[in-house]
Amino acid sequence: MAKRCCRHATGLLLVCGALCLAACRPQPAVEARPAPTVVMPEARPSATAGPQAGASLQGALRVQPPSREPAQSAYLRLRRSHVTTLTACNPTPARWWAAAPPPGARETCYPSGDLQLLAWLALPEDAPTPIPAIVYLHGDWGLDGDDFAACRPFLDAGYAVMLPSPRGENGNPGCFELWYGEMDDAVAAVRWLAGQPEIDAGRIYAFGHSVGGGVAALLSLYDDVPLRLSGSCGGLYPPDILAVWSALLPFDLNDEQEVQLRLLRGNMASMQRRHIAYLGEEEWLAQFASAAAAEAAACVAPLSIHMLPGDHESALAPAMAAFIEAIADGMPATDHQDTNQVMRRQSCQRISGTD
């Protein structure tokens, strides 16, 4: 019998380095990246995912900038040559307890480089195969039953749903890197899902909430992942968030490259496919929507921003409903239209990073 992935029988809080066993089917190798350098190991305090309230942006903002031809990605060139330097190698800040997958989901594992990582997978009942699928990237640095309950609308709409848990989380091996190594895990999760026989590899989408929304947004910068479209709710983060989370950061906030590689903001010129960002009008992130829209317009980036009633949490359900509708409407991953890329990059350089 295949053993459960990355779990401890006692159900106590733990850091688990166990590998998943034969339940994981072999997958194509994921492109290796340089191993992170870890300096000054130290404990980090636990904390919540960040502020939920603050200045808000009134009314609705929908940005669908002019289209552009995807260019060779400056972001990926830097990302693939960079070796991150971690100041600590710890699990995520979230506390968690081992638990069985919720009814309707099965526990599995997926490979990311040398790591074997926990995931839940749920298939809609009586759905004809192959099934379109959504990778749901949860918030709050820990996967639990509430995340599965939150993404039920995707399952009810006929999509298979994968909920991956990245490195350093839920007892997984690896270090919490905050939007760095976790990106390798997200790419690996999508590739693993695309290789499952029940799944339609040509119709895979990604959607994330909160910090998982930050991962989903960054996926739009990757050219080698089989995604048609990505979306997020409460995940369009400005550089300001890193200062808010300074006590949790596993890297040097003064290192510009470390910061640059962890955010969609400042990298929109490198977007490879469309991303739809939903924000609650009452959440803290809403105050940065106009600056993000201005950067997207200057970069001619395939980013759509939609303001919804509610806050960081209450906007999630309507955001999912809107994303399902966008998929059903066949929103293209990119629009193909020639633009002056030199002028576009110059415009991006002038506006990126400003709020």
pTM, two decimals, is 0.80
8-67 pLDDT tens trace: 333 333 333 333 333 343 344 444 455 665 554 333 333 333 433 333 333 333 334 434
Q: Are 78 and 261 in contact (CB under 8 A)?
A: yes
pLDDT number for residue 134: 98
Average pLDDT, rounded, for the chain: 81
Helix (H, G, I), strand (E, B) or coil at 76: helix
Q: Which helix (H) or strand (E) holds 218?
A: helix 211-219
Give the pLDDT confidence score for residue 331 in this predicted structure. 63
Per-residue pLDDT of 316-330, as tens digits, reads: 999 999 999 999 987
- Alpha-carbon span 274 to 158, nearest angstrom: 22
Residue ranges per domain, the chain?
A: 37-351
Q: Is 183 exposed, middle or buried (0-12, 13-18, 19+ CB in 10 A)?
A: buried
Secondary structure (3-state) at 153: helix
State the average pLDDT over residues 258-269.
Answer: 96
Using CB atoms within 10 Å of the CB of residue 14, give its burial: 0 to 12 exposed, 13 to 18 middle, 19+ buried.
middle
* pLDDT tens-digit series, residues 200-241: 999 999 999 999 999 999 999 999 999 999 999 999 999 999
137 vs 69 pLDDT, higher one: 137
d(CA 252, CA 235): 22
Q: Can you tell me the distance from the alpha carbon of 301 to that of 132, in angstroms, rounded to the nearest whole number?
A: 26
Query: Which amino acid is present at 339?
Result: T
Percent pLDDT > 70 in the chain is: 73
Class of domain 37-351: alpha beta
116 touches 6 (CB < 8 A): yes
Q: Per-residue DSSP letters for 116-138?
A: EEEEEEE--TTPPSSEEEEEEE-
